Amino acid sequence: MTARVLLVATGDVMAYARRTSRPGLATADDLLAAVSRGLGADPGANPATDPGADLARGSAGDLGAYLGADLGAGLRPDLGADLGLEVVTEDVRAEPSWDTSPATMLSLARRVRTALLDEGFDGVVVTHGLDTVEETAFLTDLLAGQAAHRGGIVFTGAVRPLDALSSDGPRNLASSLVAAADPALRGVGAVVCAGDELHAARWVTMADATAVTALSSAPAPVLGRVADGGAEMCAAPPPRPPEPEGEPETNVALVKTYPEMDPVLLTAVVDAGARGVVLEGTGAGNVPVGLFTTISELAEWDIPVVVASRCRTRAVPLEALPPGYGLAAKVGAIGARGLAPVKARYALMAALGGGGRQAVRDWFARL
C-alpha cells in the first residue's frame, strides 16, 4: 500500500523565488513539483532542456510556469509518485522563522498530532525556516504524545532559496518525505532533516548560518540518514518526554545571566506577565548568587525558575550535582536536565500545562 504523507509548507527560505520576473513565495505544490523536476540539483544542466536550471539562472518567467505545476490542487499523488508516495499538500501562514511565535509553533504541533492520530497519515513533513526550526520541532516533539508512534514527524528547511544555484531545498524535501513515510521513524519523535541527515529535535541546533551544513546535533550523534530510498537509523533516539498534560503556557521568559546582574531584570519579566522563567547560566548550572533571593521569592509565588547552562551538561537534577555546584537548587530552582536554554524554555511551556511549580518539578524529573 502506498504511504500517505502530509506536507505542510510554511514558506520561508525554502520557498523563496527571487530570480524570476515575478519574485514570489512557492506553495507546497510548487515545492513538490521542484522535487519532481530536480530543481537546483544540476547547476550545469542545459537551460534549453531543464526548466529548473533555467529558473536558477534567473531567466524571465514565473515560478509556476517553469515548474509546470497545476497549482492549488491540494492533492498531488502524481508528483509524490516519483518518490513512491501519496503526498497531500497544505499551505499555512507563518511568520518568518526568526520571528515565529509560540502560537504558530503550537498550531503546527497540533496539526501534526491531528494528522497522525485522527487522519491516518503515515508521516508528516513540515517545511520551516532554519532559524527556529529546532524550537518548533522540539515543541512538536513534546506535544506529540502517542502520535509519535503512529508515523514519522520530520521538519526540514533550506539555507538557499528555491531558485538559487545548487538550492538545497528540493533535496532536503525529497529526503524528508521519504523519511517520514519510513516505519523506522515510528516511535522516534520529531526529527529535523537536512543534507540527508536526521537530527533528533531534542539535540539539534543551527550551528552555521553560512553553509548548507547548517545543523548539528553535536556532541550527540546524528540520529539517522536517508539512503537507498529510506531512513537508516544510526543511533538510539533520546527518551520520549512525558505525556502532555493540559494546554502549554506560552508566556515563558528566557534570561541570560551574568556576574553582578541586577535582580530587577528577573522580576521585570514576571511583572510583565511571565508564568515561568528559564535562566541561562554557566558551567554545570550556575547563576549569580545575587539572584538567589529573587529566585526564592518567585518560588513562593509559584513561579517556576528553571536553570539551564550555555554549556553541555549532564541530564541530572541540580541538587544531584557535587557540592559547590547548582546552588540555585537550594533556593527552589529546577534543573533543565541537560537541555539547552532555548529548548528548556519550550519544555517549561509544556510542563506548565500540568500546573504550577511543583507540577513543573515533577515533569522535569521525568524528562
pLDDT of residue 23: 66
State the pLDDT at residue 199: 98
The cell for 288 is 549569580
d(CA 218, CA 236) in angstroms, rounded, equals: 15
Write out pLDDT tens, residues 6-32: 999 999 999 998 776 556 889 999 999
Reply yes or no on domain 252-365 having CATH 3.90.1150.10.
no
**What CA–CA distance (Å, rounded) separates 272 from 164?**
43
Which position has the grid cell 518539578? Answer: 361
How much is the average pLDDT of 247-265?
97
Alpha-carbon distances of 267 from 147, 207, 288, 331, 341, rounded to whole Å: 38, 31, 15, 16, 19
Same fold? 3-233, 252-365: yes
Q: Among residues 70, 81, 85, 83, which one has the least CA distance to residue 27?
A: 70
Distance CA 105, CA 128 (A): 10
Length of the chain: 367
**What is the structure's pLDDT at 195?**
95
CA 159 to chain centre: 15
Candidate CATH numbers 3.40.50.1170, 3.30.1300.10, 3.30.1490.100, 2.40.50.100; the one for domain 3-233:
3.40.50.1170
The whole-model pTM stands at 0.90
**DSSP code, position 328:** G
- Mean pLDDT for 206-217 is 93
For 135-160, how does the pLDDT look when each residue is reduced to its tens digit (9 = 90+)? 999 999 999 999 999 999 999 999 99
Give me the residue spans of the domains in the chain. 3-233, 252-365
Residue-wise pLDDT for 85-127, tens only, equals 999 999 999 999 999 999 999 999 999 999 999 999 999 999 9
Strand-pairing partners, residue 253, are: 277
- Over residues 29-68, the pLDDT tens digits come to 999 988 877 634 443 443 333 333 443 333 334 555 545 4
What cell does 49 get?
A: 532542456
Helix axes 357-365, 341-352, angle to 10 degrees: 120
